[in-house]
Amino acid sequence: MAGKKRTDTKGRVLKDGEQQRSQDGRYMYRYTDLSGKKRTIYALTLQELREKEKQVERDLQDGIDSRKGDMTLNQLFQIYMETKSNLRESTRCFYMTAWRNNVENSVLGTMRISQIRQLHVKAFYSGLARQGLAENTIKSCHSMIFPALEMAVDSDIIRKNPAKGCAREIGGTKKIKTSLTIEEQKRLLDFTENEDRYCVYYPLLLFALSTGLRIGELTGLRWSDIDLAKNIMHIRQQLVYLDFGDGYRFHIQDLKTEAGRRDIPLMKNAKKALIMQKKLNLMLGRTAKQQKVEGISDFVFINSQGKPYPTGAVNRALYDIVRTYNRREETQAKDKRREPGRLPHISAHTLRHTACTRLAEAGLEPKVLQYIMGHSNISLTLDIYTHLDFTQIQKKMDALEKDDKIG
């Protein structure tokens, strides 16, 4: 004789593994997961429980290890980073810092990955945009979140990637690359050169505006990379200053692409800046104080402590220079009852972009400019030509017209 079938308080027959708790009326289902461990799921109604049972069955049939889905996105990211053994230390440091600053303490970061849905990821990106984060910063977050979740899919921990398709709707503040006008460039250099407080930065700014080096290439430049007799410099490495987990420190690293390795002719102002910097280092006793970075101590641009400049220090100096200049200019403009000629926000990258723009305005061919700038993709170089100063374009057209080359 068959045993009596179990029912719930409403008389409905319960399947094997199903129970209704007498103390609170909640439903529960017990099953064995892929690792052989007993697991239990709960629901307020029998219908809800059976929907969950269907999901459990699907996961078991497809080999999805739902137990591991209990880990948070933060925990998954740590595992993901451990698998990336080929990452450069600076790149790893960048990812870890970006995660810590933008994801770690968010609702998304602390969610179980099995519970994350596409709407949660989209809401997270929208929240970052509302906070005023740049579009590229949000895209950087996506470039970490998506592959981490994709790894979970490939490892049969979750069925599908909830971040898939979210990149198309990333908002955020778009940073438009801008360069200084010729007049702004002149005002910046004149002010820096003639201001006692800032004149120590003049050679560095002049050199940056004459070469277009990336800030890491500039701060990592060594005297052994320069041949003043032949008017040439060899770009072979870059310097980074990052928190590698044991505090901030300098690190010399190879250039990201083969295009970054280049030999650049020294123009007159670049050579002038180098000679000035060498004299400044000697006069201020900086050469004698020079400190080693990973065994190297012949850096061109060093501070009062004999250390290379971190990128942040250069940007802070530029911020201070612009702020002081603008305050003085506003006072003078008010006294003379004229509109002030303020300087815009200037960063180390502004100097590189400005140098590139000046070379393009001078008529340098795109392929040559691509080589000098170390662009791996010529589209980056060609983009410069779409933002040239109209006055310079007009002068070039006038010159061509006078030479009967057009028209």
3-state secondary structure of 235: strand
| Matching fold, domains 73-169 and 182-397 | no
DSSP 8-state secondary structure symbol assigned to residue 302: B
Among 101-105, 113-117, 175-179, 240-244, name the one with the lowest average pLDDT. 175-179
Q: Taking the model in full, what pTM does it have?
A: 0.70
Q: Please give the Cα distance from 206 to 387 (Å, whole number).
A: 22
Under the banding of pLDDT at 50, 70 and 90, the label for residue 405 is very low
Half-sphere exposure in the Cβ direction for 9 (13 Å, CA): 9
Q: Please give the Cα distance from 284 to 281 (Å, whole number).
A: 6
Asked whether the predicted pLDDT for residue 1 surpasses 50, the reply is no
Q: Please give the Cα distance from 271 to 206 (Å, whole number).
A: 10
Tell the CATH topology of 182-397.
hpI Integrase; Chain A (1.10.443)
Q: Which pLDDT value is given to residue 387?
A: 66
pLDDT digits over 326-378, tens only? 999 999 999 999 999 999 999 999 999 999 999 998 888 999 999 999 998 88
Asked whether the predicted pLDDT for residue 389 surpasses 70, the reply is no
DSSP 8-state secondary structure symbol assigned to residue 55: H
Q: Please give the Cα distance from 404 to 407 (Å, whole number).
A: 7
pLDDT digits over 250-283, tens only? 999 888 888 899 999 999 999 999 999 999 999 9
Distances (CA, A) of 88 to 82, 164, 239, 261, 397: 13, 26, 13, 17, 47
What distance, in Å, lies between the first and last C-alpha atoms of the chain?
106
Q: Which pLDDT value is given to residue 323?
A: 97
CB 361 within 8 A of CB 389: yes
Q: Please give the Cα distance from 201 to 394 (Å, whole number).
A: 33
240, β-bridge pairs: 251
pLDDT digits over 157-183, tens only? 888 999 999 988 787 666 667 899 999
Q: Please give the Cα distance from 261 to 225 (Å, whole number).
A: 12
Under the banding of pLDDT at 50, 70 and 90, the label for residue 401 is low
Q: Where are the domains of the chain?
A: 18-63, 73-169, 182-397
Amino acid at 18: E
Distances (CA, A) of 70 to 49, 113, 114, 304, 404: 19, 7, 6, 52, 74
The burial class, CB within 10 Å (0-12 / 13-18 / 19+), for 145 is buried
Q: Which pLDDT value is given to residue 158?
A: 87
Amino acid at 298: D
Closest CA to 219 of 313, 114, 326, 102: 313
10 Å Cβ neighbour count for 67? Answer: 15
Q: Please give the Cα distance from 372 to 356 (Å, whole number).
A: 9
173, β-bridge pairs: 134
CB 268 within 8 A of CB 244: no
CB 134 within 8 A of CB 174: yes
pLDDT digits over 111-166, tens only? 999 899 999 999 999 999 989 888 888 999 999 999 999 999 988 788 899 999 99
CB 7 within 8 A of CB 1: no
How many angstroms from the chain centroid is the CA of residue 259?
A: 20
Q: In what order do the strands lie in the sheet with 232-235?
A: 226-227, 232-235, 262-265
| Full DSSP string of 176-211 | PP----HHHHHHHHHHHHH-TTTGGGHHHHHHHHHH
CATH of 73-169, one of 3.10.129.10, 3.40.50.410, 1.10.3720.10, 1.10.150.130: 1.10.150.130
